[in-house]
A and B are shown apart, each in its own frame.
Chain A
Amino acid sequence: MKKTTTPLLRTLSGFWTVYSANKKGVIGLALVVFFFAVAALANFAPFDPSNVDPSRTWLPPNSVNWFGTDWFGHDLFSQMILGTRVSLFVGVFATLISIVIGTMTGLLAGYYVKRLGELLERVIDFFLVIPYLPLMIVLVAVLEATEIPIPILWIVIFVIGITGWSGTARIIRSQVLTVKERQFVDRARTIGAGDVRIMIKHILPNVFPLVFANAVLTVAGSVLAEVTLDFLGLGDVTTISWGMMLHFALSNSAMYRGAWWWLLPPGVAIVILVMGFTLIGYSVEEISNPRLREKKF
């Protein structure tokens, strides 16, 4: 039986050797790192994105504005750079919420299979069935209406987080069910270890790789969700995000004016960022799930 207490560094370097051999994962990682770098260096954007030059509106890409300008005269290149921050921020924090809720629910549902587990299973199924976009729309709209003193950005993060946990919970639950059957859990129980202790010390480390893979995939989903909410006009109109850029583009008839330079880059950036996270997620999943690796038939 595998030990669950291998020194962290050794596991990480061993993991890296396997991971770097996986082409998909390396590409994904490169993409994501690129965007994080852009976000970190966002202050070096050529223009202050809120700067407007009314004489330079609706301009296609040129030597001054590499991505052109929008209806108001904003430099789109700078907006794109700063938008990176918001996408990553929302994506990561919403995912944190989802992962915490999802992992806890999944652990409990898998460990206490009897009554609590059954109840939780129904709850998980419920959230899986409910269409996520209408639910998010209703929640954000209502929360914004109640004039709660929370910034809209955090309302968005919160809503994405609490609607996106069920996928995680389902995966964690089935993993816990598998891990539970293994011998060392029984051994721990017979020497009197309490349930919580077993869950944290024994089950969690074994479930962790899959949690990580799922977390990365959830970030991808959260980024998409944020973009969609922005486009619908439910996001924070004062922040510059790729979704908001598209929202303003569409509200100002950019489509009909043929302003492809305004409409294409945000979308392309979203696709690449989401793909990056997805590639990482899939490769981690492949690596940590031996079943997936051995199937060569």
Chain B
Amino acid sequence: MKRTLRPRIVYLTKKAAYALITILIVIIFNFLLFRVMPGDPARLLIPRGHNIDPALITRMRTFYGIDKPLPTQLLTYVVQTFQLDFGYSFYYKAPVGQVIGAWLPNTLVLVGISETIAILLGFSTGAIAGWKRGKKFDVIATSFGLTAWSIPTFWLGVVLIMAFSVQLAIFPVGGVRTIEMNYANVFQQIQDVGMHLVLPVVTLTLVSFAEYLMIMRNSLVDVMTEDFVLTARAKGLSEQQVLRDHVVPNALLPSVTTIAIALGFIVGGALQTEIIFSYPGIGMLTYMAIEFRDYALLQALFFIDAVLVILANFAADIVYTYIDPRVKLQ
């Protein structure tokens, strides 16, 4: 398949370049955010009312190079970011990068599990709903999608906790593990963590599932009106065959690209889920950073969130080159 290799590489290289530029712009945005605000950045980074250790301020000043000219500051900032040096979290009294690094894996687990389930369920349900457009299945599915979109994710978590943790005491109310528990073996650990994961995963999956359902459904409805679907029917293919071999492969294309936009919302949903369930991931970290006004941490978290979404987008671009043979040199 050498013939199709070069166009794909060109396409992906262009997309990678865009991704890098976007990341760069996020870095610059973060950089400017404090520099253009009135006030001394070093003081800004430490909320009022806290004991201000002069040594800490000097450290901040050096880190941000506030005495140097703006372009130099920017360059240093960019370099530092790429070296994953995000400054110092005054609340956790540790380098920001380290703090994030400790909490990030939990988020990846939660989001990984939830989104995988959500995509698989959402796309298949959405395909069926689109195919049976207007019929009962579609009406129910679309109403569900609409309702789920209207529910604030954190509130859904609240409702689930009240029902299943407080009232029925089936699942734990939060966290990722039972605190004082010592695990006798791996299975016990998996079981304990698993129980803690159920409600958060259900919350995040429900909201994402509705999103993916609508994306696939609308995409499918569009594809169904294309002429080649009529051709497929004219060939004598059964409805299932037409759906499976012609409609869905084409409906996947815009669905994958639309996921890119949905990802930004899903990050928001993950954040809320973690906070409500006190799940120790970067969402929870964000909440702490807000409460204690740890701006260095907040900025870095925004950067990480953006990078994750940009990377996920790029992954979607890669997937796209494999499902659409029309990807070629512009």
Contact = CB atoms under 8 A, between A and B. Distances in A.
Do any CB atoms of chain A lie under 8 A from CB atoms of chain B in the complex?
Answer: yes
Interface of A: 126, 128-135, 137-139, 141-143, 145-148, 220, 224, 227-228, 231-234, 246, 250, 255-256, 258, 260, 263-264, 267, 270-272, 274-275, 278-279, 282, 295, 297
B299 A228 contact: no
B89 to A, nearest CB: 14
A295 B152 contact: no
A231 B150 contact: no
A118 to B, nearest CB: 12
Interface string B266-281: 0110011001100000
Given A132-B264, A260-B162, A137 B221 contact: no
Given A133-B271, A143-B37, A258-B162, 4 more contacts: A128-B261, A145-B47, A146-B44, A275-B150
Given A142-B34, A145-B44, A233 B150 contact: no
Contact of A145 (B152, B268, B293, B310): B293
Given A131-B305, A135-B302, A270-B152, A145 B26 contact: no
A231 B225 contact: no
Interface of A, helix, strand, loop or mixed by DSSP: helix
Interface in B272-320: 272, 275-276, 286-287, 290-291, 293, 295, 298-299, 301-302, 305-306, 309-310, 313
Contacts of A227: 152
A258 B167 CA distance: 8
Contact of A142 (B26, B37, B149, B260): B37
Contacts of B173: 255-256
Interface of B: 22, 25-26, 30, 33-34, 37-39, 44, 47, 146-147, 149-152, 154-155, 158-159, 161-162, 166-167, 173, 221, 224-225, 229, 260-261, 263-265, 267-268, 271-272, 275-276, 286-287, 290-291, 293, 295, 298-299, 301-302, 305-306, 309-310, 313
Contacts of B221: 295
5 contacts: A129-B22, A131-B265, A132-B265, A274-B149, A297-B229
Contacts of B161: 255
Contacts of A224: 150, 152
Nearest to B286: A137
Contacts of B286: 134, 137
Contacts, number: 145
Contact of B272 (A128, A228, A258): A228
Given A130-B26, A134-B302, A270-B152, A146 B268 contact: no
Contacts of B146: 275, 278-279, 282
Nearest to A143: B37
B264 A129 contact: yes
A133 B38 CA distance: 24
Given A129-B264, A129-B310, A233 B158 contact: no
A114 to B, nearest CB: 16
Given A134-B267, A232-B290, A267 B167 contact: no
Given A142-B34, A220-B150, A131 B306 contact: yes
Given A138-B302, A146-B44, A224-B152, A130 B158 contact: no
Contacts of A141: 290, 293, 295, 298
B152 A231 contact: yes
A232 B287 contact: yes
A138 B267 contact: no
Given A130-B306, A270-B152, A255 B166 contact: yes
Contacts of B268: 131-134, 228
A297 B147 CA distance: 27
B166 A256 contact: yes
- The listed residue with most B CB atoms (<10 A of its CB), out of A134, A142, A270, is A134
A274 B305 contact: no
Contacts of A258: 162, 166-167
